[in-house]
Structure 1
Amino acid sequence: MCLGLRKMNFLRTVVALGILVAVQARVNVRRPLCESAEAEEAAVAAQDFLNAQHTHGYKYVLNRIEDIKVYSMPEGESYVLEIDLLETYCHVLDPTPLANCTARPKHLTAVEGDCDVVLKRVGGILTVTAFKCKTEVSKEDICLGCPSLLPLNDTAAVDFVETSLGTFNNITANETFVLLEVGRLSSQLLSGGHFYTVEYIVVEANCTDDPCTPSNDVTARGLCIAKGSNARHSVDCKMFATLVKHTADAVSPPAVHAHTGSLSRKQGLKHHSLTSRHDPELTGLLSAESAESAEIVPVAPASPVPTAVDLRSKMAVKDEIMLSCIFIV
């Protein structure tokens, strides 16, 4: 009976090895150069997809391609990318094309996205099937005395947002705007006290009733940037529809009537993060480094991709040195 068990175990081992060899024969791993047109195409597709999932805060632009692997199988090709993204000055509601959006410099407290993305090429078109992103403030080039980010629900900074919005409403006599979202709050300690720089989204509102009712018209929205203190400040607003700028300087501005229902949902959050995760079946393909939470987001279904077991088997056999390449936007 022991001999029978040994034979069964031997047969299982042979079958398992046969399956592994068959998988390896079917999977071919390529490592295109990070600066190649193929890598750039996949990275741009990933960038655009991640921005489409990002509904608050600012657009992100591709900064660097860290690594790329292409798995070729009879069913098609799958791309596994590691990319870095940088937060831009363009809000997600701003219709400005991403190509025209400028990344924030690191010395002004840049926010970076570190993402691993899996894409499937279907009919010549690349489709994202899984991703993980970690969004954090860049630790590079932070200078002593430079402005620092504040939590998006910081009481004093939000009070300054409301005050500056009151100033803006005071110069737009025929229109009233209310707060839609706080985008960014920062503070710098100067000799006269705290100097705030805040960015927020406003929307035109109907104020015949109290409180004002924000308009559902997406063309009636804009980005305001205010600088200074409650007592003395400037506010500059760019409306997305007309791209017309209104500028005002104020001393002791009037009270503001603002809607603050869309402030940060997370206590202490200093920036709007990219959607952190979508990988219901392909977790094994993505590095743990970029995993920020267990949040799962719905993504439009794509064609089936090779299983994680298939690709991990090949990756274990062919463990190559990671490439680190720079992609300049």
Structure 2
Amino acid sequence: MASHLFAALLCLALVLPDLLGATSPPLATCEPEGATAAAHLAVRHINGHHKHGYKFRLAELLSSNYQPVSDNCVIDLQLKLSQTKCHVSNPKYHEDCEVMAPSDRGASANCNIRLSVTGGVANVVHYNCDTKAEPNNSEMAMICPDCPGLSPLDSEIGLTAVQAAVRQHNQQSNHLNYFGLMEISKLTSYYIPAPSMGTMMGLEFAMVETACRKDSRMVLEACSPRCPDRAHHVFCKATYKVRGREVDELECELYPAKDTTPLAVEPTCTLFHGSPEDEACHRQLQVHHKDVHQICPFTSLA
């Protein structure tokens, strides 16, 4: 009984900050002193629509410009955002997430954002962000020659390594259902000059609960992911010895499903990667950086 109570309290502690943030957005007005509130509202909106990679926090309000429209206004912002250590599947509120240090091989995003304020209500109209590694590999090599370098997220060796880590997690996990790969979140590579080591890869990846039970005869590749709100999610870090094809130091965090209402038939959903939305994102991006998850451009349909 005590263990069930602790688990319930833990789940509540994880989702409560996000729920509170969702019900009390910052107030953005047509007054210049409301620029900071407008910036925080914009970052909250960006995280709410960001479906891959990591959450972001506001690093700097670079500029703001107000254009009166009748009794309302349009606000143009230029913001610098910093990547956090929280994956998008992590229920923690983005403001509570730790920002990645340079040694974490994180990213930053410079964003141009437009908001409209009508009747005292602010809404994001559109934004476009340039997301890139900070520092990049060349800059990092000058600062720390022996530090890991970022590898492309579509690396074949990286995919092989992560697939091995997914299999290992499913073998070791007590969860009833299989977890499938949601995405490769970050890949780094480095070299350790020792006979049993050599080239190493740092893996960060996310998994999503599938509809397949482990006691079924389904192969993992044929299992469909549960829908985002109804799926447990897992975020993992591991190291991989390329020479021996060995997964080491696998550490994972399990995030609870938001909606646990029993259903007669459990729905399944498609993943973001490879979806029409993902393809549209790639078409709209002006510059492509293969070693980070970029923020997709956004335009309101309202």
TM-score in terms of structure 2 length: 0.69
In the aligned structure 2, how far is the partner of 1:261 from the partner of 1:137? 22
Percent sequence identity is 21
Contact 1:164 1:234 in 2 (8 A): no
Residue 237 of structure 2 aligns to a residue whose secondary structure is strand
Q: Which residue is 1:180 aligned to?
A: 182
Instruction: Give the equivalent residue in structure 1 for 2:159.
Output: 158
Task: Work out the CA distance in 2 between the residues paired with 1:51 and 1:83.
Answer: 14
Post-superposition offset of 1:150: 0.8
Can you give the 5+ residue segments of structure 1 that lack an aligned partner in the other structure?
Answer: 1-29, 244-259, 277-296, 302-329
**Which residue of structure 2 lines up, in the alignment, with residue 95 of structure 1?**
91
Say whether 1:222 aligns with 2:234.
Answer: yes
**Preserved contact between residue 31 and residue 69 of structure 1 (Cα < 8 Å):** no
Deviation of the 1:215 alpha carbon: 3.4
CA RMSD of superposed structures (Å): 2.8
Measure the CA separation in 1 of the matches of 2:106 and 2:289.
Answer: 17
Match of 1:271 in 2: 292
Match of 1:235 in 2: 250
Higher relative contact order (Cα pairs below 8 Å, separated by 6+ residues): 1
| Distance apart, 1:56 and its partner CA | 1.4
Secondary structure at the aligned position of 2:157 is classed as: helix
| Alignment-mate amino acid for residue 199 of structure 2 | H
Give the distance between the partners of 2:247 and 2:301, measured in 1 at CA: 48
Structure 1 Cα separation of the partners of residues 39 and 289 of structure 2: 31
Identify the match of residue 86 of structure 1 among 82, 88, 106. 82
Contact 2:61 2:78 (8 Å CA) reproduced: yes
* C-alpha spacing 1:57/1:232, structure 2 compared with 1 (3 Å): closer
Judging changes above 3 Å, is the alpha-carbon distance between structure 1 residues 242 and 227 closer, same or farther for their aligned structure 2 residues? farther
Larger radius of gyration: 1
How far residue 268 of structure 1 moved from its aligned partner, in angstroms, is: 7.0
Structure 2: segments with no counterpart, 5+ residues:
1-29, 259-270, 283-287
Change in Cα spacing, 1:125 to 1:67, as seen in structure 2 (3 Å) is: same
CA distance in 2, matches of 1:238, 1:109: 20
Aligned partners of 1:178 and 1:212 also within 8 Å: no
Deviations 1:205-238 (A, max 9, x none): 3153234413314332211111242325111111
Check the 8 A contact 2:39/2:61 in 1, yes or no.
yes
Paired position in structure 2 for 1:209: 218
Match of 2:201, SS? strand
Alignment check: 8 A CA contact 2:65 2:75 kept: yes
Q: Distance in 1 between matches of 2:40 and 2:159?
A: 35
Task: Measure, in 2, the Cα distance between the counterparts of 1:162 and 1:120.
Answer: 44
Letter in 2 for 1:203: V
* Structure 1 counterpart SS, 2:294: coil
- The alignment of Structure 1 onto Structure 2 pairs a total of residues equal to 232
Q: Quick check: 1:80–1:118 contact (8 Å CA) kept in 2?
A: yes
What's 1:195 paired with? Answer: 200
Q: TM-score, normalised by structure 1?
A: 0.63
Structure 2 counterpart of 1:49? 45
